[in-house]
Structure 1
Amino acid sequence: MNMINMRIYMSACKQVQPLVNFPGGLPGGLNMAPLFRRDKVVIVVGATGTGKSRLAIDLATRFHAEIVNSDKMQVYKGLDIVTNKVTEEECRGVPHHLLGTIDPNSNFSAEDFCHQALSVMESITSRDRLPIIAGGSNSYISALVNHHAEFRMKYECCFLWVDVSLPVLHSFVSERVDKMVEAGLVEEVRRLFDPEADYSRGIRRAIGVPELDQYLRFGVRADERTRDRLLKVAISKIKENTCMLAWRQLQKIQQLHDQWEWDMHRLDATGVFLNRSKEADEAWNRHVAEPSLNIVRKFLYEDCVPNIVSHEVAVATATMIGVPIPMATVATACR
């Protein structure tokens, strides 16, 4: 770690009392600065439709937390039905950040997400609240967790993976699209429709927008039978593409787990989706919410010591001040 990164680390992280004492002080009257601990963040991942937002809100109501949205379509303003944003009622008073705040015609990149997410998280932790990152865009989360130096130096992560068997999830996703159509999905896209629009930019990339192009472009002048056929094809394509998205997201999560060795806590919610009766809430609490609460409680409160700077940072600090420190005496981060 170079001097610039060291200065970033020292300015970014909170101080804790040193766990290593040197009798008589350091040579030359040097005073070893207190070691630094990282703030904690919970990250909820999973394929589309698995209940990530619900779990994040459940946790936020129990741990004085705020949620940072990491869904690359939900960051944009508009198309609340198409992008399946949580409603005000579903938020249950929990503050949400980066949800419906970005210009829908802009391209909000992973780099943009990292920049804004870090700013939001700093605000959250400054108020002694827990940041919870939740969303289906694993490219955003990967960019933040794996490739952003400031995040890696400042935060310790707890990963919760809400998983549902794909055949069961595909059935649920199909039903959800039908409900979204009933709620006004087509009319919502119609208000945004522009025959000259670029479907590779901004919110128009969202599943549900390009698929309705042919219906909105030609349906107005078509007879009723043709119009109905065009709409049926569009809805079928929305379902197909949403199922493909779920499959790709699942593959990405597994890849991230294998490549970066994220310590993920997998929560199997398949039983919740199979139980569509009034017992579904009980199944959710039993299989997802309660286990997650226990995991996060241990992550926040039951670690043996505060999470301390890594071995790499400790070595860099020793090298910087010219004092050999026996690494065996430096407490390592709790797992």
Structure 2
Amino acid sequence: MDQMVGQNVQGQRDKVVIIMGATGTGKSKLSIYLATRYRAEIVNSDKMQVYKGLDIVTNKVTWEEQCGVPHHLLGIRDPYTDFTVEDFCYSALHAIESILSRGRLPIIVGGSNRYIEALIDGDESKFRSKYNCCILWVDVSMEKHYPFLSERIDQMVENGLIEELSEMFDPNLDYSRGIFRSIGVPEFDQYFRTKPYLNDENCEMLLQKAISEMKENTWDLAHRQLKKIHRLQYGKGWGMHRLDATEVFGKRGKEAEEAWKDCVGGPGLRIVAHFLKDITKQAPADVIAVDHES
């Protein structure tokens, strides 16, 4: 597309796409899928992925997965420092303006809903007065989502999570600061502290305990994120477009990819197309589902 995608004519608000959802629902995949079809750049809104390091633990998209799409606020911050809500709002606004200045569409994506809420509704809602937002919500039923999250953590362990944590472990770590607040870091503290003094059996027992705690805390995070999204959608009337990805999580391989395009990618593409063309009428009923029960 050759037109200035995110920018509007004088007097109209510039356009921003926002993708929300609980951890592990496929937000990043959708953002990259949309960005490769429009002239778009991605602004990360995951408060742990903003830090350098622990790429497996924080589940950052890899260079290959980014498909050449520019990503902002991803892996840029010193892991020992704090990145506050105020820091995010300032940095995100700067990134948005930079993206728009190049005639591209900003896509904000991540699971830190408190940061997104502060960006959109904070500062006397100046964001809403300046930008026209299209908010996509990728949703998955808990019945399908929780087993997937467990499998994902098992895969992270296979991909080198323990080795990655071992390289950054320090007995004097402050788990209330920086990247070390990430789920998957404090859970392994006891394992790394006592590992040199334990036999193989007890060591394995502690390792499995840490992995189980990481899974439980990830489930809790997903539940809190979903609860927050419900409040924003049904309590504050954010008008999100809900994309139900549940069917995808019951399939594997080619079938899963086809289901994703049918349930998430295709509908998301059509919703954004309506948004960018200034079509104000509601998207067709077969494109979005507004009812949700978990």
Q: Which of residues 141, 144, 150 is equivalent to 1:168?
A: 144
> 1:156 aligns to what SS in structure 2?
strand
Asked if 1:243 corresponds to 2:224, the answer is no
User: Which residue does the alignment assign to 2:238?
Assistant: 262
User: Which residue does the alignment assign to 2:121?
Assistant: 146
The code of the aligned residue for 1:105 comes to Y
The code of the aligned residue for 1:236 comes to S
The code of the aligned residue for 2:67 comes to R
User: Which residue does the alignment assign to 2:276?
Assistant: 300
- Which segment is superposed worse, 56-65 or 146-155? 146-155
Deviation at residue 278 of structure 1 after TM alignment: 2.0
Aligned length: 274
User: Which residue does the alignment assign to 2:67?
Assistant: 92
Q: Deviations over 1:124-178 (max 9, x none)?
A: 0011100000000001100001113442221111010000001211000000000
Asked if 1:290 corresponds to 2:271, the answer is no
List structure 1 segments (4+ residues) > 2 angstroms apart after TM superposition. Answer: 13-16, 302-305
> 1:203 aligns to what SS in structure 2?
helix
Q: Which of residues 113, 124, 127 is equivalent to 2:99?
A: 124
User: Which residue does the alignment assign to 1:6?
Assistant: none
Deviation at residue 194 of structure 1 after TM alignment: 1.0
Q: Percent identity?
A: 60
Q: Deviations over 1:61-104 (max 9, x none)?
A: 11110000000100000000000000111111100000000111
Asked if 1:61 corresponds to 2:33, the answer is no
User: Which residue does the alignment assign to 2:53?
Assistant: 78
The code of the aligned residue for 1:283 comes to A
Deviation at residue 260 of structure 1 after TM alignment: 2.0
Q: Work out the CA distance in 1 between the residues paired with 2:151 and 2:174.
A: 29
Q: Which of residues 202, 222, 227 is equivalent to 1:226?
A: 202
Structure 1 residues 209 and 75, CA gap change in structure 2 (3 angstroms): same
Q: Work out the CA distance in 2 between the residues paired with 1:146 and 1:166.
A: 28
> 1:160 aligns to what SS in structure 2?
strand
Q: Which runs of 5+ in 2 are unaligned?
A: 1-6, 282-294
The code of the aligned residue for 1:270 comes to T
Q: Which of residues 204, 208, 228 is equivalent to 1:252?
A: 228
User: Which residue does the alignment assign to 1:110?
Assistant: 85
The code of the aligned residue for 1:254 comes to H
Structure 1 residues 77 and 227, CA gap change in structure 2 (3 angstroms): same
Q: Which runs of 5+ in 1 are unaligned?
A: 1-12, 17-35, 306-335
> 2:254 aligns to what SS in structure 1?
coil
Q: Work out the CA distance in 2 between the residues paired with 1:167 and 1:238.
A: 19
User: Which residue does the alignment assign to 2:3?
Assistant: none
Q: Is the Cα contact below 8 Å between 1:146 and 1:260 reproduced in 2?
A: no
Deviation at residue 277 of structure 1 after TM alignment: 3.3
Q: Work out the CA distance in 2 between the residues paired with 1:289 and 1:138.
A: 22
Deviation at residue 256 of structure 1 after TM alignment: 1.1
Deviation at residue 219 of structure 1 after TM alignment: 1.1
Q: Is the Cα contact below 8 Å between 2:14 and 2:130 reproduced in 1?
A: yes
Q: Work out the CA distance in 2 between the residues paired with 1:167 and 1:205.
A: 27
The code of the aligned residue for 1:247 comes to H
Q: Is the Cα contact below 8 Å between 1:136 and 1:249 reproduced in 2?
A: yes
Q: How does the TM-score come out when normalised to structure 1? A: 0.80
Q: Is the Cα contact below 8 Å between 2:8 and 2:15 reproduced in 1?
A: no
Deviation at residue 276 of structure 1 after TM alignment: 1.4
Q: Work out the CA distance in 2 between the residues paired with 1:158 and 1:42.
A: 5
Q: Work out the CA distance in 1 between the residues paired with 2:212 and 2:27.
A: 25
Q: Work out the CA distance in 1 between the residues paired with 2:47 and 2:169.
A: 20
> 2:137 aligns to what SS in structure 1?
strand
> 1:92 aligns to what SS in structure 2?
coil
Q: Is the Cα contact below 8 Å between 1:105 and 1:201 reproduced in 2?
A: yes
Q: Deviations over 1:250-302 (max 9, x none)?
A: 00000111232111110000100101132111110001000010000000014
